[in-house]
């Protein structure tokens, strides 16, 4: 793989498709079951599962549209309520994870919003058994802290966040981390990542306008 915008976009698309495969597949399976099921109670349960899967799919699409795409229009600033709603939708189906929101500013720049969202995605993925996801932003600083009974951050993501991944070795799994690295680098900001711990993970970004 060469380090081009098209190649990187294809990696992000692969990540998006991977994350959508489960809820969309569940919708397909639910429809097949519904077509063959005649028991009223079972049909009602199928409808519940279809609603849950459809909601999860819609929430993921809304999140990825803001985190990866051009959502928010062409203005320089984005309403932080959009980011909060996107994160709530992303983790909403997982009742094991609680969101702590400490962002008092009404708007943030697009690079800051995308950095916040993508770091939140990485942190929530690392909470393999759920826990607490705290997000704070003030001025040009962003802090994201995830804590739970088991924390797993793939070494591949650590390497990509540090910008040490070779372009031809980048995978869809690490594409989000690589996006974060480039957003921070292009903004001239600094990034900090806590040392590996079994229950706590902290991301810090400063100087991100």
Q: What is the CATH number of the domain that holds 10?
A: 3.30.565.10
Greater model confidence, 29 or 67: 67
The SS3 call for residue 202 is: strand
Percent of the chain with pLDDT over 70: 94
Q: What is the pLDDT of residue 177?
A: 94
What pTM does this model have?
0.87
Greater model confidence, 50 or 156: 156
Structure tokens at 150: 């088991």
Q: Is the pLDDT confidence value at 12 over 60?
A: yes
Q: State the total domains in the chain.
A: 1
Q: What is the pLDDT of residue 50?
A: 86
Q: How confident is the model at residue 181 (pLDDT cuts 50, 70, 90)?
A: very high
């Amino acid at each position: 793989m060469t380090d081009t915008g098209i190649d990187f976009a294809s990696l992000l698309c692969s990540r998006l498709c991977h994350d959508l495969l489960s809820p969309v597949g569940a919708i397909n399976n639910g429809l097949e079951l519904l077509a063959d099921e005649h028991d009223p109670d079972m049909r009602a349960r199928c409808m519940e599962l279809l609603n849950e899967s459809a909601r999860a799919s819609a929430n993921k699409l809304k999140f990825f549209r803001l985190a990866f795409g051009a959502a928010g229009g062409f203005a320089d600033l984005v309403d932080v309520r959009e980011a909060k709603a996107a994160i709530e939708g992303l983790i909403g189906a997982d009742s094991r994870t609680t969101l702590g929101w400490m962002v008092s500013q009404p708007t943030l720049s697009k690079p800051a919003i995308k950095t916040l969202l993508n770091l939140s995605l990485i942190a929530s993925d690392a909470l393999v058994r759920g826990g607490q996801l705290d997000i704070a932003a003030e001025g040009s600083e962003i802090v994201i802290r995830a804590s739970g009974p088991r924390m797993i951050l793939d070494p591949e993501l650590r390497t990509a966040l540090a910008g040490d991944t070779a372009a031809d070795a980048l995978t869809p799994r690490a594409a989000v981390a690589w996006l974060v690295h480039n957003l921070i680098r292009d903004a001239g900001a600094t990034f900090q990542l806590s040392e590996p711990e079994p229950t706590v993970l902290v991301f810090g970004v400063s100087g991100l306008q």
